[in-house]
Amino acid sequence: MAALARDLGRLPLALSQAATYLVDLHLTCAEYRARLADRARTLTDLVPEDSGLPDAHRATVAATWSLSVQHADRLRPRGLARPMLQLIALLDPNGIPATVLTSPPALAHLFAHRTPGEDGHRPGHPIGTADAADALRCLHRLSLADHTPGTPHQAVRVHALVQRATRETLPETARDALARTCADALFTAWPDTERDTALARALRANTAALTACAPDALWEPRAHPVLFRTGDSLGHAGLVISAVTHFQDLHATACRHRGPDHADALQARRRLAWWRGMAGDAAGAALAYQELSADELRLLGPDHADTLDTRHALAWWRGMAGDAAGAALGFAELLADYLRLLGPDHLHCLVTRGNLIHWRGEAGDAVGAATGFEELLADHLRVLGPDHPDTLNVRHGRAWWRGATGDAAGAATAFEHLLGDYLRVLGPDHPTVLTARSDLAHWRAEAGDAAHAAAAYRELLTDSLRVLGPDHPNTLHARRGLARCQGAAGDAVGATAALEELMADYLRVLGPDHAETANARAELARWRDAAALG
């Protein structure tokens, strides 16, 4: 055993794999050393010179890896360990979600690249999720990967040296194709609505690892959608500044690969402008969309879907920048074009009508907004039915503007009824449900029921911390609502203390110029004055 340890350079990774190999095949140390010596002579160049390992360790990793993979491929299900390890080699060594490695793109890779048997035959039956799980167990058994099914978001961990050795066996074209397969697997495993922050975090980490391994492969033949999904995921997690940085980098890369007028570059600009606004720069977002709109008119024409989407976002951010009347005008003009192109019952028309009504309300016509949402609801019920998410959103707008007309108690009652349907249709952790709970607490407070509003904000804060995390803007908003209720209940000193603590987090997370930071600052000044009056 001492001689074998010397042969392996006492490298922990190699020792672990060798010990597993010995036990599994019932070999003596002498027999394993003979195999290792033969394999080391043929694979000394497997790990490249810049790996940072001493020369003896490069040969050791190559040889032990080769022996272990060859044996793992002979275990049931035969021939799947190697192609599974190839997938793992391009992803995050610190944890890969099980859903990625059992997704349809991953299973298709296992089927297409199954190692042939000694007779050169590949089994033709389809590969299922159980086969993929069994392949992971083979890798675990040979210490090539750590498979812990009880932690699904980080079900597979792997040593970076094993990943490197695996990647170096692949020709560049095969590695690029594998990278696109991994990107397909990540995108397929990514839920449309991110209710699980740990899963979203793991998917972002795996996309980052994949991009680092194969930065150019994900741009052929087009920018892979997982690149855009990652940036949006950062924003939805409340990391809006990181989302802005991500899309700035993505736009620069798109321009380098495709040029500034390519669809990939335009899409990156579109997402960059959106998250710039969400980061607090509404005027900058409006300007960015205005410039993008001019380029899309030139490149795509006035009736292209992307051109119309950009006009929609431009109108919205004009309103968010303080120009409610300009937003309403923009939506009115857009609605006319949607009606011409799509007809009155198309979803785009219905959504645009809702935004037009909202910004007319923000421009001063609260009563008209409440009436407009009542009429819009009738069309949503007729076209989409009562349980469609957009129908529920129109009910949300109707309830809000009912409160804005002065009927706070009626708004709270409407939100109570709406919340029951939201919970039934979307589930308790959906972001829209959390927003509706916040609005219900707001209108309860406006109706004078500070005690029930405070209780609602406390429950919401608990769930927001669990679902969204402490730095998400919606979590910060729930804290502000709770402090406001505390002040309304007579504890101005406590409200001031809570808001002072909250202001530090607003400044750290969103910065001094964000609209939510400004609202919190105004709230703090109000309760400081109230506390001073005693």
Strand partners, 96: 156
Mean pLDDT of 38-42: 44
**10 has pLDDT over 80:** no
- In terms of pLDDT, which residue wins out, 391 or 534? 391
Residues in contact with 133: Cβ distance below 8 Å, sequence separation at least 6, in sequence order: 98, 102, 149
pLDDT value of position 164: 79
Instruction: Report the alpha-carbon distance of residue 118 to residue 115 in Å, rounded.
Output: 9
Mean pLDDT of 180-201: 93
Strand partners, 441: none
**52 has pLDDT over 50:** no
Mean pLDDT of 133-156: 86
Residues 471-517 have pLDDT tens digits of 888 999 999 999 999 999 899 999 999 999 999 999 998 889 888 99
**146 has pLDDT over 90:** no
Count other Cβ atoms within 10 Å, centred on residue 234.
22
pLDDT value of position 28: 77
**396 has pLDDT over 90:** yes
The one-letter amino acid code at 57 reads H
3-class DSSP assignment, residue 136: helix
pLDDT value of position 409: 97
pLDDT value of position 61: 53
Band (pLDDT 50/70/90 cuts) for residue 41 is very low
Mean pLDDT of 277-306: 96
- In terms of pLDDT, which residue wins out, 511 or 46? 511
- In terms of pLDDT, which residue wins out, 265 or 13? 265
Neighbour-count burial for 33-55, b at 16+ CB within 10 Å, e otherwise: bebbeebbeebeebbeeebebee
**59 has pLDDT over 80:** no
Cβ(400)–Cβ(439) under 8 Å?
yes
Closest CA to 236 of 278, 277, 289, 203: 278
Beta-strand (E) ranges in 252-352?
none
Closest CA to 208 of 51, 95, 47, 50: 95
Neighbour-count burial for 202-219, b at 16+ CB within 10 Å, e otherwise: bbbbbbebbbebbeebbb
**39 has pLDDT over 90:** no
Q: Count Cβ atoms within 10 A of the Cβ of residue 502 and give its class: 0-12 exposed, 13-18 middle, 19 or more buried.
A: buried
Query: Angle 263-278/240-258 helices, nearest 10 degrees?
Result: 160
Lowest mean pLDDT segment, chosen from 4-8, 224-228, 229-233, 460-464 = 4-8
pLDDT value of position 108: 95
pLDDT value of position 292: 98
Instruction: Report the alpha-carbon distance of residue 257 to residue 222 in Å, rounded.
Output: 10
Quick one: what percent of the chain has pLDDT higher than 90? Answer: 66
- Which DSSP letter does residue 158 get? -
Band (pLDDT 50/70/90 cuts) for residue 40 is very low
Residue recorded with tokens 């909202």: 358
pLDDT value of position 169: 84
**325 has pLDDT over 90:** yes
Closest CA to 210 of 185, 237, 173: 185
Residue recorded with tokens 């410039």: 291
Cβ(110)–Cβ(138) under 8 Å?
no
Output the average pLDDT for the chain. 88
Torsion of CA 395, 400, 403, 404, to 10 degrees: -130
**44 has pLDDT over 60:** no
pLDDT value of position 152: 85
Distances (CA, A) of 8 to 15, 50, 63, 66, 152: 7, 20, 9, 14, 33
Quick one: what percent of the chain has pLDDT higher than 70? Answer: 86
For residue 386, cis peptide bond before it (omega within 30 degrees of 0): no
**414 has pLDDT over 80:** yes
Tokens of 177: 């194709």
pLDDT value of position 257: 92
Cβ(461)–Cβ(475) under 8 Å?
yes
| Element containing residue 369 per DSSP (H, E) | helix 366-383
Instruction: Report the alpha-carbon distance of residue 301 to residue 296 in Å, rounded.
Output: 7
Residues 71-130 have pLDDT tens digits of 666 777 888 988 999 999 999 988 999 999 999 999 999 999 998 865 555 666 788 999
pLDDT value of position 4: 64
Most confident of the ranges 3-17, 29-43, 229-243, 393-407: 393-407
Instruction: Report the alpha-carbon distance of residue 214 to residue 158 in Å, rounded.
Output: 18
Closest CA to 277 of 532, 473, 530: 473
Mean pLDDT of 190-213: 92
Band (pLDDT 50/70/90 cuts) for residue 140 is confident
**379 has pLDDT over 80:** yes
pLDDT value of position 16: 61
| Long-range contacts of residues 449-458, Cβ cutoff 8 Å, at least 24 apart | 449/412, 450/485, 450/488, 450/489, 451/489, 453/481, 453/485, 453/488, 454/482, 454/485, 454/486, 454/489, 457/481, 457/482, 457/485, 458/482
pLDDT value of position 71: 67
